[in-house]
Amino acid sequence: MKKIMILLLIVTLTVGTLLLNTNNVSAFTPSDYNGSIYELESDTEDTYATYLDKYNKVFPDEIVDVDLTTFEYSNGLVDNDLPYYGLFKDDLGNEKDGLYLPESGDISLTVNVAEAGYYHIGVEYFSILGRSSNIERAMRINGKYPFIEAESLVLQRFFKDEFSVSESREKGVSDIRPKQVEIHLWAEDTLKDRVGYYNDSYYFYFEQGVNTITFESKREPFVLGRLFLFQETKVSNYETYYNQYLQQGAKVVEDSYIIEAEESYLKSSPSLNPIAEFSTPKFTPYEAFITRYNAIGGNNWRVAGDSISWQLTVKEAGFYKLTFKVMQNFSNGQSTTRSLKINGKTPFEEAKTVEFKYKSDLQYVSLGNGEPMYVYLEAGVNEISLTSTIGNYGPIVQRVNVLIKEFRAFYREVVMRTGLNPDPYQDYLLSRYIPNFESRLVAFKDELQAIRSEIIRISGGRSGLISAFDRAGNQIKKFIEDEKNVQSGLREFEQNISALGTWVISVSEQPLTIDQIIVSGNTHKLPKIRLNFFQKLWHEITMFFGSFKDDSDFGTGVSVDGPTIEVWIGTGRDQTTYLRQLIDESFTLDKGINVNLKMVNMGVLLQATLSGNGPDVAIGVDQKMPVNWGIRNAIVPLSDFADFPEVASWFSPSALEALTFDGVTYALPDTEDFLVMFYRKDILNSVGVTSLPTTWEEVIDISPLLQRRYLEFYVPVSQGAMSTVLYAMIKQNGGELYLDGGRESGMLQPANINAFLDFTKLFTDYGFALEANFANRFRSGEMPIGVANYSLYNTLSVFAPEISGQWDYALLPGVEVDGVLNRQSVSTVTSSVIMSASKEKEASWEFMKWWLSADTQKDYARGMESVIGSAARYPTANLQAFEQLPWPTKDYLMLKQQRELAVGIPTVPGDYIVGRHIDNAFRAVLNSNVTPQDSLYQYHLKINEEIARKRKELGL
């Protein structure tokens, strides 16, 4: 009997151990993890390529118009922004009837199809006033997304220069870069892939009878004038195109025309403004040490889908040769690709991929290269347009994107079993518990090798383009040799996945600088653009001595008979250059005030002020500086100006909190950033988190679901300073950081003690990470949810395009007090100040009001985004300007709500010690096992001592 009992015990323990080891899933977990954590939320797994093979290949040759007067609208987010059918006139005076589609909500239309089959979808649309970004919609047919790419369909907006850059050009005076203005036009297009993965418009399958088309709004309003199903005419090859016009009597015209590329007609993005090129004097026009906006494109023209068009008037119809004078020194080892259109149409198949090979200097690229390909131009005005496209790399980029998703899935499955720091001596039995372990690794190896070979074929040889695939391939081979190499190589594997993501970004970006477009016959001789040795030497010597010029002073060609102020800005060269432009355009002449603008490291502001060499106005200073300098009479109290209350109303109260002390405001905010909660929709769904946490208790509730799979919730902790999350929790509990107008610490209030206890428990009891690179770990999926400033949006949009559409943000978790859910966030600002030493205080105040006004902030924010790209989304503190930035409606409404719940951290004399000692109290609990109440009490006394000492020193 005793032996039987022992045997039963052994069996029970063995079975229990196996059950516990299987995928590490506890009874608390509502659903097991199966499949890729990067699966999209859509109801289809079809890519466009697989979708084309899904139905019978029938292509009915008929045009079917969709009735736009009958529609259903749902899920709108703005009550007074509703769809309607009416008459719309564009900026050129063209009038058409159309259906207005708001920037939020879903519009459903019906179409009766006589014959089932694949159709292209054509649109006539009007780019009505919006937020100046591309129009984006997702589309469902009969309630389902036809393929994954249909979740992001883009229609372009149109922009132009406010004036021709050569209009006011003077010798010896720098050019003024024209502002980009949107022009609202009626246009025709098809629903297509803008990036260049597919060279033709999308096909959509419709069943016979009544079908429903639903457009889900993602970004921007627009007017739909016509929506129709049809078969797009196939583009012929060059030989057919040429012979067609030849038979009609066309001949090569020997006239020649030169288009200065910076004098463009229309562009699809405000970032495509004229640029100044100094790399060689062969750019035209060129003048040493003078800013000449003599080209267009460059790194700004790198996003696939962006297009630029030029207009040209020719005297005689006929064949012309196109030659582009370009600089393509960006993409070593690969060609940059553009798609060419003449008068809105692709002339022939070969024009879809015009390649510009890498060269470190200016080069001429003629259409057709060795054997010229002519384009037919009509007599009169013609339009020539180039669109950035991935070209031959399109199919490869798609394959790499799929491979990255599979790698991420495999990586997550391993981490969910081993953790991020596996024990090197433990056998995790990966091949047993990870589905298809060996076959997936072999498939990875084969795909990496196939992609590598295809890259070599396209690029014409081995280059740096294949290094990421070599490293990943070598590691996968080690994984196949011994599964223990997987657990020991996890960190390197994650780095290799990131390297492939970086490869996708670099290949997908197609920068190109265009100086001129030459339209000519065969007899036109192109000027030499290659410099000889002595020309190169002279150019380098000239540029060398020019580099000694003081470039901190951004001069102006505009001056008036009025006061002069000096303004310091602590940002980068692009920001300073653009601000100089705005000052010249809309401040100096309007207000009669001259501005000397200097780009300065704000670390020298104190020394400059003490020596009497400081500015009148400083832009972009830290939020702690205004009060601490203001109480020492080094900064002008702005609340002394009569119209201050009106100006202060431009900003949220939270933005003014840190800039105000004892009822006096010493600065106004330039930018305001605040905490939100970022989350990965795909990963949270896969681990059973079906709703977002709204309270910190719910954050703790979901932690086991995450931690059982070695995932984490991120809470930022500042070394040597108080965590903004802790301050948010203090305000959510109803506490105050200071009492009696900043005379003593409020940390012993019950609400503050509760907040401190809750905050420390996150790390002592629940094992939250003290330090982490949240952007990296959010991208990899290790931290699928966490708290960060909303400006992380910029980083993720550019840094992690492979997870686009898989993440979002929401309000900060809060605390429920007396039945009310408090979800306060914490804002941080940069600010502008007027120095007390200024002799032109009124003029400085006029400048500050202009700089922080809604119009200037909007122009500056949009301008920086146009110059640098979406990574430069400017977090303006001006509420009206923020509303007009190119946010999707859903994002704007969420951020608006969180901003209204934001609070600023007060600035008081001696506050430098407050954050340090609160962090010391936190670290004592963590590292020395001191009880939170005792730790907080000890440092509370020290805080009060320092505040009292500082107030006595300042005579307060």
**Amino acid found at 850:** W
Closest CA to 55 of 112, 108, 119, 114: 119
* pLDDT per residue as tens digits for the range 894-950: 999 999 999 999 999 998 899 999 999 999 999 998 999 999 999 999 999 999 999
Position with higher pLDDT, 345 vs 507:
345
Q: HEC string of 511-538?
A: CEEEEEEEEECCCCCCCCCCCCHHHHHH
pLDDT recorded at residue 899: 95
| pLDDT exceeds cutoff 60 at 1 | no
**Exposed/middle/buried for residue 1 (C-beta within 10 Å: 0-12, 13-18, 19+):** exposed
* pLDDT per residue as tens digits for the range 253-274: 999 999 999 999 999 988 888 9
Show the tokens assigned to 861.
Answer: 């924010």
pLDDT recorded at residue 120: 97
Show the tokens assigned to 566.
Answer: 């000096």
**CA dist., res. 86 & res. 82, Å (int):** 12
Closest CA to 105 of 128, 77, 85, 125: 77
Percent of the chain with pLDDT over 70: 93
Show the tokens assigned to 882.
Answer: 């923020």
Position with higher pLDDT, 705 vs 801:
705
**CA dist., res. 285 & res. 713, Å (int):** 55
pLDDT recorded at residue 621: 94
Handedness of CA 247, 252, 255, 261 (dihedral sign): positive
* pLDDT per residue as tens digits for the range 282-324: 899 988 778 889 999 998 898 888 999 999 999 999 999 999 9
Which among 190-199, 361-370, 677-686, 731-740 has the top mean pLDDT? 731-740
pLDDT recorded at residue 441: 95
Show the CA angle centred on residue 468, arms to residues 464 and 471, nearest 5°.
120
| pLDDT exceeds cutoff 90 at 667 | yes
- Asked whether the beta carbons of 166 and 294 are under 8 A apart, the reply is no
pLDDT recorded at residue 923: 94
pLDDT recorded at residue 676: 97
Residues 232-251, mean pLDDT to the nearest whole number: 94
Residues 503-531, mean pLDDT to the nearest whole number: 90
Least confident of 398-412, 527-541, 856-870: 527-541
**CA dist., res. 875 & res. 670, Å (int):** 8
Residues sharing a CB contact under 8 Å with residue 680, sequence separation 6 or more, in sequence order: 778, 781, 784, 785, 803, 806, 807
**CA dist., res. 759 & res. 744, Å (int):** 22
**CA dist., res. 324 & res. 314, Å (int):** 18
| pLDDT exceeds cutoff 90 at 41 | no
**CA dist., res. 448 & res. 471, Å (int):** 10
For 231-379, strand residue ranges (E) read 257-260, 266-267, 274-276, 293-298, 307-314, 318-327, 336-342, 354-356, 362-366, 374-377
Residues 352-373, mean pLDDT to the nearest whole number: 89
| Residue carrying structure tokens 């009969």 | 142
Residues 44-52, mean pLDDT to the nearest whole number: 83
Residues 528-554, mean pLDDT to the nearest whole number: 67
SS3 state at 308: strand
Closest CA to 865 of 269, 267, 271, 220: 271
pLDDT band at residue 546 using 50, 70 and 90 as cut-offs = low
Closest CA to 307 of 433, 517, 159, 500: 159
**CA dist., res. 294 & res. 281, Å (int):** 11
Measuring CA to CA, how many Å separate 790 from each of 46, 70, 570, 906?
33, 40, 22, 21
**CA dist., res. 5 & res. 765, Å (int):** 39
Neighbour tally for 76: CB within 10 Å? 18
Closest CA to 123 of 147, 139, 144: 139
| pLDDT exceeds cutoff 50 at 21 | no
pTM of the full structure: 0.82
| pLDDT exceeds cutoff 50 at 16 | no
DSSP for 873-925, please give it.
---BS-HHHHHTSS--HHHHHHHHHHHHTEEEPP--TTTHHHHHHHHHHHHHH
DSSP for 55-82, please give it.
S--------EEPPSSS-EEE--S-TT--
